[in-house]
Structure 1
Amino acid sequence: MLTELFQYRELIVALAVKNITLRYKQAYFGIAWVVLQPLMMMAIFMLVRAFIGFDSGGVPYPVMAFAALLIWRLFQDTATDGVNCIVGNAHLIRKIYFPREVFPLTAAVTKVIEFGINLLVLSLMMAWYGIAPTAQAAWVPLLALYAVIAAWTIAFAGSAINVAYRDVGAAVPVLLSLLMYASPIIYPMRLVHERLVDQQAAGAWSHALYLLYTANPVAGLVDGLQRTVLMGLPPDPGVMAPGVVLTLVALWPSYRVFKRAEARFADLI
């Protein structure tokens, strides 16, 4: 599969460029929307924090929120676009053969480019607040890869099922929006650890709930990016491990669902 995908690398690049061009071609602000969207979300989070009033742990909240949105949008958009990629490219699937994995891969390439643009904006924000990156920032490419792989666990199976049941394409963005509130994006991961592990807020269920919370890959992604880029610390293994295990376990069954349905794409689409 990897050899075949390498042979079609020019198609992947061409489709990625087409996706970016078509998405922003007729928009007045163009590709600036890549930056404007997380900035507007950051402003909303700052307003929410003004009412709730929690401690951001010594890191300026705007930078912390933008970093969280940075990795969250890479995961969310790769998963959402991946689920809709087969249906959205029906005209190509009916005409010629090429590995259908090209489409989820293209969705990831497109979002990684946007992630890189926002990473530059985060660097400017860090410079504004006097936060200097450390050697721990070398974790960022691995965290981005982890975000893409986690998104593929949804995209492979979701895109295959979406061909027969279009409800999936509409349901996934809604479910992912709900997942955002179950992830340390508005609030820091430190608060979750304090409530469930240190204070045992849920009693005997506290440790089980904490394990369930960290099984969400986004929890480790957000906390990992904030720790490595903003705090100069390595990712916390206790937060990362449950999500990594779940992602690796779920990726292969999701891919098998995709491959089993692949032969019927052209007929059903």
Structure 2
Amino acid sequence: MFKIAINLYKYRELIAALTWKNIVVRYKQAYLGILWAVLKPVLLTLVFTLVKSFVGIETDNFPYPLITFAALMPWVFFQESVSEGVNSVTSNASLIKKIYFPREVFPLTAMVTKLVELFISFGILAAMMFYYKVMPSIYALWLPAFILYAMVVALTISFFGAAMNVYYRDIGQAIPIAMSLLMYATPVIYPLSLVQKKLLVEQAAGIWSEKLYTLYTLNPLVGIIDGFQRTLIKGIMPDFHALYPGLILTLCILPFSYWFFKRAESWFADVI
């Protein structure tokens, strides 16, 4: 992690230039421009709100559109950071063959591009909070920590996935499918409190309930999304018991993922 931070600082100008290029190319000649970045979470919020009108989902008396948009912000950031990060090396084959620089710049650039789009989404969230008369509390200061956590999770998958995708292009095709399935194992459509009620309070799975809940919280996005909702919307402390399992798992996998990427990068130019 320390080496990643050093490279991030050392090649900050290159990352900034590539990020700007990605944004310009993506939204060039688009009438809505960079507003397309927030269209996906806005539309998904509308769809989920429509579904909620037919299926009862408890939200602790908070507006469902607000809770859902707060969940979709980190989810969309993670999903698209991983999807573009995994394909970032193969999509920059011409640069890899021309000049050498640390190849982790590509997954980092993909993530930073999505970070810009995440910050734009905060403008939409602020407008929604104003509309629903929900004011942020002092606990909103936890937000940078959750954003950093989401960045680390995205990079953990992107490093390994990008290296594998150079040799097996099926990885790039499988990632969007995997992300779609993962969303249902993440409290995006429903709040974490609903899972806690079913497994920890009602013991819906019998003697396996607590073990299933621990397995569920190994998904790092569970703690991140719940953290966004609790600190931004509900104005309460993060649930650290929901955060620890995924955080520990991520910190254990990240060094291996980065090591694997660095081992594989020596042959990128030959294979691509």
**Which 4+ residue blocks in structure 1 deviate beyond 3 angstroms?**
1-5
User: 2:48 corresponds to which residue?
Assistant: 45
Distance 1:184 1:76 in 2: 14
User: 2:219 corresponds to which residue?
Assistant: 216
Q: Is the 8 A contact 1:228 1:234 kept in 2?
A: yes
1:230 is aligned to 2:233: yes
Distance 2:245 2:53 in 1: 32
Distance 2:187 2:7 in 1: 38
Q: CA deviation at 1:29?
A: 1.9
1:187-235 deviations in Å (ceiling 9; x for gaps)? 1110000000000000011001000111101110110000000011121
Distance 1:65 1:17 in 2: 29
Secondary structure class of the residue paired with 2:89: helix
User: 1:118 corresponds to which residue?
Assistant: 121
Q: CA deviation at 1:5?
A: 4.0
Distance 1:246 1:4 in 2: 24
Distance 1:217 1:48 in 2: 25
Q: Structure 2, unaligned stretches of length 5 or more?
A: none
User: What pairs up with 1:241-256 in 2 under 5 angstroms?
Assistant: 241-256=244-259
User: 2:150 corresponds to which residue?
Assistant: 147
Distance 1:26 1:213 in 2: 43
Q: CA deviation at 1:7?
A: 2.8
User: 1:207 corresponds to which residue?
Assistant: 210
Q: Structure 1, unaligned stretches of length 5 or more?
A: none
Distance 2:211 2:29 in 1: 49
Amino acid aligned to 2:187? P
Q: Percent identity?
A: 52
Distance 2:210 2:33 in 1: 46
User: 1:262 corresponds to which residue?
Assistant: 265
Q: CA deviation at 1:4?
A: 4.4
Secondary structure class of the residue paired with 1:192: helix
The 3 A distance-change label for structure 1 pair 3 and 197 is: closer
Distance 1:174 1:222 in 2: 20
1:168 is aligned to 2:164: no
The 3 A distance-change label for structure 1 pair 3 and 219 is: closer
1:153-195 deviations in Å (ceiling 9; x for gaps)? 1100100000011000010111011000111100111000000
Q: Is the 8 A contact 1:5 1:99 kept in 2?
A: no
- 157-166 or 71-80: bigger deviation: 71-80
Distance 1:229 1:74 in 2: 17
1:117-147 deviations in Å (ceiling 9; x for gaps)? 1011101100110000111111111101100
Quick one: which of 187, 196, 204 aligns to 1:184? 187
Secondary structure class of the residue paired with 1:59: coil
Distance 1:136 1:10 in 2: 33
Q: CA deviation at 1:8?
A: 1.9
Distance 2:200 2:6 in 1: 46
Distance 2:7 2:89 in 1: 18
Q: CA deviation at 1:27?
A: 2.5
Q: CA deviation at 1:53?
A: 1.2
1:75 is aligned to 2:74: no
Task: Calculate the TM-score normalised by the size of structure 2.
Answer: 0.97
- 220-229 or 73-82: bigger deviation: 73-82
The 3 A distance-change label for structure 1 pair 4 and 179 is: closer
Q: CA deviation at 1:54?
A: 1.6
Q: CA deviation at 1:3?
A: 3.9
